[in-house]
Amino acid sequence: MKVRLIDVDGHNFPNLPLMKLSAWHKQNDDDVGWYEPLTDWMEPADRVYMSKVFTFTPDYEHPVNAKKIIRGGTGYGYPNGGECLPDEIEHIYPDYNIYPELTKNTAYGFLTRGCPRGCDFCIVGSKEGSRSQKVADLSEFWRGQKNIVLLDPNITACPDWKELFQQLIDSGSWVDFSQGIDIRLMTEEKAEMLKRMKIKRVHFAWDNYGDKEMIVPKFKAFKEITGWDKRKMSVFVLTNFNTTFEQDLERVYTLRNIGFNPYVMIYNKQDLKRGNELLRLQRWVNSRVAFWAVDRFEDYK
Protein backbone atom coordinates (compact mmCIF):
# COMPACT_ATOMS: atom_id res chain seq x y z
CA MET A 1 0.00 0.00 0.00
CA LYS A 2 0.98 3.58 -0.58
CA VAL A 3 0.30 5.31 2.76
CA ARG A 4 0.63 9.03 3.37
CA LEU A 5 0.46 11.05 6.59
CA ILE A 6 -0.76 14.59 7.30
CA ASP A 7 0.05 16.33 10.60
CA VAL A 8 -2.67 19.00 10.42
CA ASP A 9 -1.33 20.91 13.44
CA GLY A 10 2.10 21.27 11.81
CA HIS A 11 5.45 19.73 12.67
CA ASN A 12 6.27 21.63 15.88
CA PHE A 13 5.56 18.66 18.17
CA PRO A 14 5.59 14.93 17.38
CA ASN A 15 2.18 13.44 16.60
CA LEU A 16 2.10 10.09 18.42
CA PRO A 17 -0.80 8.49 16.51
CA LEU A 18 0.93 9.18 13.19
CA MET A 19 4.21 7.81 14.57
CA LYS A 20 2.43 4.60 15.60
CA LEU A 21 0.55 4.29 12.31
CA SER A 22 3.81 4.76 10.43
CA ALA A 23 5.51 2.05 12.49
CA TRP A 24 2.65 -0.41 11.92
CA HIS A 25 2.47 0.14 8.17
CA LYS A 26 6.23 -0.07 7.75
CA GLN A 27 6.13 -3.32 9.72
CA ASN A 28 3.74 -4.55 7.04
CA ASP A 29 6.11 -3.42 4.23
CA ASP A 30 3.90 -0.53 3.11
CA ASP A 31 5.28 2.60 1.45
CA VAL A 32 4.90 5.30 4.13
CA GLY A 33 5.69 9.01 3.88
CA TRP A 34 4.36 12.53 4.39
CA TYR A 35 1.63 13.63 2.00
CA GLU A 36 2.97 15.99 -0.67
CA PRO A 37 0.15 17.93 -2.39
CA LEU A 38 1.98 18.38 -5.69
CA THR A 39 3.33 14.88 -6.30
CA ASP A 40 0.73 12.80 -4.46
CA TRP A 41 -2.08 14.60 -6.27
CA MET A 42 -0.88 13.09 -9.52
CA GLU A 43 -0.53 9.55 -8.11
CA PRO A 44 -3.15 9.07 -5.37
CA ALA A 45 -2.27 7.14 -2.23
CA ASP A 46 -4.16 4.05 -1.18
CA ARG A 47 -4.67 5.59 2.24
CA VAL A 48 -4.09 9.00 3.83
CA TYR A 49 -4.20 9.54 7.59
CA MET A 50 -4.98 13.08 8.78
CA SER A 51 -4.41 13.78 12.49
CA LYS A 52 -5.46 16.97 14.29
CA VAL A 53 -4.83 17.39 18.03
CA PHE A 54 -6.21 20.88 18.66
CA THR A 55 -9.79 21.97 17.99
CA PHE A 56 -8.63 25.50 17.09
CA THR A 57 -6.18 24.37 14.40
CA PRO A 58 -7.43 25.22 10.88
CA ASP A 59 -8.06 22.19 8.71
CA TYR A 60 -5.61 21.10 6.03
CA GLU A 61 -5.76 23.69 3.25
CA HIS A 62 -4.73 21.55 0.26
CA PRO A 63 -6.95 19.07 -1.61
CA VAL A 64 -6.20 15.44 -0.75
CA ASN A 65 -6.31 12.77 -3.43
CA ALA A 66 -6.53 9.26 -2.01
CA LYS A 67 -8.59 6.10 -2.30
CA LYS A 68 -9.34 6.34 1.41
CA ILE A 69 -8.93 9.27 3.83
CA ILE A 70 -9.01 8.64 7.59
CA ARG A 71 -9.28 11.62 9.93
CA GLY A 72 -8.59 11.29 13.66
CA GLY A 73 -7.58 13.12 16.81
CA THR A 74 -9.27 15.43 19.30
CA GLY A 75 -9.29 18.24 16.75
CA TYR A 76 -11.69 16.24 14.59
CA GLY A 77 -13.54 14.12 17.13
CA TYR A 78 -14.16 16.30 20.20
CA PRO A 79 -16.66 16.52 21.90
CA ASN A 80 -18.27 13.44 20.35
CA GLY A 81 -15.16 11.30 20.67
CA GLY A 82 -13.12 9.96 17.79
CA GLU A 83 -11.70 6.81 16.40
CA CYS A 84 -9.19 5.09 18.69
CA LEU A 85 -6.22 3.22 17.31
CA PRO A 86 -6.58 -0.56 17.41
CA ASP A 87 -4.60 -2.15 20.26
CA GLU A 88 -1.98 -3.60 17.92
CA ILE A 89 -1.22 -0.06 16.71
CA GLU A 90 -1.80 1.83 19.98
CA HIS A 91 0.83 -0.27 21.78
CA ILE A 92 3.44 -0.46 19.02
CA TYR A 93 6.84 1.21 19.41
CA PRO A 94 6.52 4.60 17.64
CA ASP A 95 8.34 5.43 14.43
CA TYR A 96 10.54 8.30 15.65
CA ASN A 97 12.19 8.59 12.25
CA ILE A 98 9.36 10.66 10.79
CA TYR A 99 10.31 13.53 13.15
CA PRO A 100 14.13 13.26 13.12
CA GLU A 101 14.81 16.72 14.56
CA LEU A 102 12.10 16.72 17.24
CA THR A 103 12.76 13.21 18.51
CA LYS A 104 16.55 13.16 18.41
CA ASN A 105 17.54 11.07 21.45
CA THR A 106 14.10 11.74 22.93
CA ALA A 107 11.18 9.39 23.63
CA TYR A 108 7.55 10.54 23.83
CA GLY A 109 4.55 8.75 25.27
CA PHE A 110 1.82 8.16 27.84
CA LEU A 111 2.21 5.97 30.90
CA THR A 112 -1.26 6.93 32.16
CA ARG A 113 -4.49 8.38 30.81
CA GLY A 114 -7.38 10.18 32.46
CA CYS A 115 -7.76 12.63 35.34
CA PRO A 116 -10.19 12.79 38.29
CA ARG A 117 -10.21 16.59 38.56
CA GLY A 118 -12.90 17.40 35.98
CA CYS A 119 -11.80 21.02 35.56
CA ASP A 120 -14.21 23.06 33.40
CA PHE A 121 -11.40 24.44 31.26
CA CYS A 122 -9.92 21.00 30.48
CA ILE A 123 -11.16 18.29 28.09
CA VAL A 124 -9.16 15.39 29.53
CA GLY A 125 -11.92 14.07 31.79
CA SER A 126 -14.52 13.86 29.04
CA LYS A 127 -11.98 12.58 26.51
CA GLU A 128 -9.97 10.06 28.54
CA GLY A 129 -12.10 9.41 31.61
CA SER A 130 -12.28 10.67 35.19
CA ARG A 131 -9.93 8.04 36.55
CA SER A 132 -6.17 8.09 36.05
CA GLN A 133 -5.04 4.63 35.03
CA LYS A 134 -1.90 2.99 33.75
CA VAL A 135 -1.91 2.34 29.98
CA ALA A 136 1.70 1.37 29.30
CA ASP A 137 5.10 0.57 30.72
CA LEU A 138 8.01 2.85 29.87
CA SER A 139 9.55 0.19 27.61
CA GLU A 140 6.63 0.56 25.20
CA PHE A 141 7.99 3.84 23.82
CA TRP A 142 11.49 4.19 25.34
CA ARG A 143 14.59 2.29 24.30
CA GLY A 144 17.47 4.04 25.99
CA GLN A 145 16.92 7.59 24.74
CA LYS A 146 18.62 10.26 26.83
CA ASN A 147 15.38 12.23 27.29
CA ILE A 148 11.82 11.15 28.10
CA VAL A 149 8.85 13.48 27.50
CA LEU A 150 5.70 12.28 29.26
CA LEU A 151 2.30 13.47 28.05
CA ASP A 152 0.31 12.14 31.02
CA PRO A 153 -2.43 14.49 32.30
CA ASN A 154 -2.19 13.45 35.98
CA ILE A 155 0.27 10.64 36.69
CA THR A 156 0.26 11.24 40.47
CA ALA A 157 -3.44 10.32 40.58
CA CYS A 158 -2.75 6.86 39.15
CA PRO A 159 -2.84 3.94 41.66
CA ASP A 160 0.28 2.56 39.94
CA TRP A 161 2.28 5.79 40.29
CA LYS A 162 4.98 4.20 42.45
CA GLU A 163 5.75 1.45 39.94
CA LEU A 164 5.86 3.99 37.10
CA PHE A 165 8.05 6.42 39.06
CA GLN A 166 10.48 3.58 39.71
CA GLN A 167 10.65 2.82 35.98
CA LEU A 168 11.56 6.47 35.34
CA ILE A 169 14.21 6.42 38.07
CA ASP A 170 15.72 3.19 36.72
CA SER A 171 15.88 4.62 33.18
CA GLY A 172 18.57 7.11 34.18
CA SER A 173 17.17 9.48 31.52
CA TRP A 174 16.13 13.09 31.89
CA VAL A 175 12.38 13.17 32.58
CA ASP A 176 10.02 15.94 31.46
CA PHE A 177 6.47 15.81 32.85
CA SER A 178 5.26 18.06 30.04
CA GLN A 179 1.68 18.39 31.35
CA GLY A 180 2.80 19.04 34.91
CA ILE A 181 2.31 17.31 38.26
CA ASP A 182 -0.67 17.73 40.59
CA ILE A 183 0.74 19.33 43.75
CA ARG A 184 -2.57 18.64 45.55
CA LEU A 185 -1.76 14.91 45.44
CA MET A 186 1.85 15.34 46.52
CA THR A 187 3.11 13.28 49.46
CA GLU A 188 6.51 12.95 51.07
CA GLU A 189 7.01 9.58 49.36
CA LYS A 190 6.18 10.98 45.92
CA ALA A 191 8.46 13.98 46.47
CA GLU A 192 11.33 11.72 47.54
CA MET A 193 10.94 9.60 44.39
CA LEU A 194 10.78 12.68 42.17
CA LYS A 195 13.98 13.85 43.85
CA ARG A 196 15.68 10.62 42.71
CA MET A 197 14.79 11.25 39.05
CA LYS A 198 16.84 13.29 36.63
CA ILE A 199 14.62 16.34 36.19
CA LYS A 200 15.70 19.67 34.77
CA ARG A 201 12.49 21.42 35.80
CA VAL A 202 9.19 20.31 37.29
CA HIS A 203 5.88 22.03 36.50
CA PHE A 204 2.89 22.41 38.79
CA ALA A 205 -0.34 24.40 38.44
CA TRP A 206 -2.37 26.67 40.70
CA ASP A 207 -5.56 27.08 38.70
CA ASN A 208 -8.17 27.58 41.41
CA TYR A 209 -7.69 30.47 43.81
CA GLY A 210 -9.87 28.68 46.38
CA ASP A 211 -7.21 25.98 46.80
CA LYS A 212 -4.95 28.46 48.60
CA GLU A 213 -5.22 27.08 52.14
CA MET A 214 -4.40 23.56 50.98
CA ILE A 215 -2.01 24.19 48.11
CA VAL A 216 0.46 26.65 49.66
CA PRO A 217 1.54 24.25 52.46
CA LYS A 218 1.97 21.55 49.79
CA PHE A 219 4.34 23.79 47.82
CA LYS A 220 6.32 24.65 50.95
CA ALA A 221 6.62 20.99 51.97
CA PHE A 222 7.76 19.95 48.48
CA LYS A 223 10.45 22.61 48.45
CA GLU A 224 11.67 21.54 51.88
CA ILE A 225 11.80 17.83 50.96
CA THR A 226 13.57 18.24 47.62
CA GLY A 227 15.78 21.20 48.46
CA TRP A 228 15.18 22.53 44.94
CA ASP A 229 15.06 26.26 44.21
CA LYS A 230 13.00 28.39 41.83
CA ARG A 231 15.18 27.52 38.83
CA LYS A 232 13.85 23.98 38.97
CA MET A 233 10.23 24.61 40.01
CA SER A 234 7.64 26.38 37.85
CA VAL A 235 3.92 26.86 38.54
CA PHE A 236 1.31 27.59 35.87
CA VAL A 237 -1.14 30.26 37.04
CA LEU A 238 -4.45 30.19 35.15
CA THR A 239 -6.00 33.62 34.63
CA ASN A 240 -9.02 35.08 32.81
CA PHE A 241 -11.18 32.10 33.78
CA ASN A 242 -12.79 32.40 37.22
CA THR A 243 -10.52 34.74 39.18
CA THR A 244 -10.15 38.49 39.64
CA PHE A 245 -7.00 40.35 38.70
CA GLU A 246 -6.27 40.87 42.41
CA GLN A 247 -6.47 37.11 43.00
CA ASP A 248 -4.14 36.51 40.04
CA LEU A 249 -1.62 38.97 41.43
CA GLU A 250 -1.88 37.45 44.90
CA ARG A 251 -1.05 33.98 43.57
CA VAL A 252 1.94 35.38 41.67
CA TYR A 253 3.32 37.12 44.76
CA THR A 254 2.67 34.11 47.00
CA LEU A 255 4.52 31.73 44.71
CA ARG A 256 7.48 34.06 44.43
CA ASN A 257 7.64 34.53 48.19
CA ILE A 258 7.84 30.77 48.85
CA GLY A 259 10.48 30.21 46.18
CA PHE A 260 8.67 29.10 43.02
CA ASN A 261 8.66 30.56 39.52
CA PRO A 262 5.06 31.47 38.52
CA TYR A 263 4.11 31.30 34.83
CA VAL A 264 0.93 33.10 33.79
CA MET A 265 -1.45 31.28 31.44
CA ILE A 266 -4.34 33.31 29.98
CA TYR A 267 -7.59 31.53 29.15
CA ASN A 268 -9.03 32.69 25.82
CA LYS A 269 -6.15 35.11 25.38
CA GLN A 270 -7.27 35.94 21.86
CA ASP A 271 -10.33 37.74 23.27
CA LEU A 272 -8.29 40.31 25.19
CA LYS A 273 -7.70 43.74 23.71
CA ARG A 274 -4.25 45.24 23.40
CA GLY A 275 -3.16 46.97 26.60
CA ASN A 276 -5.18 44.71 28.89
CA GLU A 277 -3.66 44.42 32.37
CA LEU A 278 -3.53 40.63 32.12
CA LEU A 279 -1.34 40.87 29.04
CA ARG A 280 1.01 43.19 30.92
CA LEU A 281 1.00 40.85 33.91
CA GLN A 282 1.89 37.91 31.67
CA ARG A 283 4.75 39.83 30.04
CA TRP A 284 6.15 40.81 33.44
CA VAL A 285 5.86 37.41 35.13
CA ASN A 286 6.95 35.25 32.19
CA SER A 287 9.97 37.42 31.49
CA ARG A 288 12.18 35.99 34.23
CA VAL A 289 14.68 38.85 34.17
CA ALA A 290 12.00 41.53 34.53
CA PHE A 291 10.05 39.57 37.14
CA TRP A 292 12.94 39.04 39.50
CA ALA A 293 14.35 42.53 38.93
CA VAL A 294 11.08 44.43 39.57
CA ASP A 295 9.50 43.60 42.94
CA ARG A 296 6.01 45.01 42.33
CA PHE A 297 3.80 44.84 39.29
CA GLU A 298 2.88 48.49 39.81
CA ASP A 299 6.53 49.42 39.15
CA TYR A 300 6.78 47.40 35.92
CA LYS A 301 7.03 49.64 32.88
Per-residue pLDDT of the chain (301 residues; tens, 9 = 90+): 999 999 999 988 999 999 999 999 999 999 999 999 988 888 899 999 999 998 888 999 999 999 999 999 888 876 655 567 899 999 999 999 999 999 999 999 999 999 988 777 777 777 787 899 999 999 999 999 999 999 999 999 999 999 999 999 999 999 999 999 999 999 999 999 999 999 999 999 999 999 999 999 999 999 999 999 999 999 999 999 999 999 999 999 999 999 999 999 999 888 888 889 999 999 999 999 999 999 999 999 8
The burial class, CB within 10 Å (0-12 / 13-18 / 19+), for 39 is exposed
Which residue(s) pair with 50 in the sheet? Answer: 6, 71
Q: Which helix or strand (DSSP H or E) is residue 278 part of? A: helix 277-286
What is the residue type of 167? Answer: Q
CB-CB contact of 219 with 181 (8 Å): no
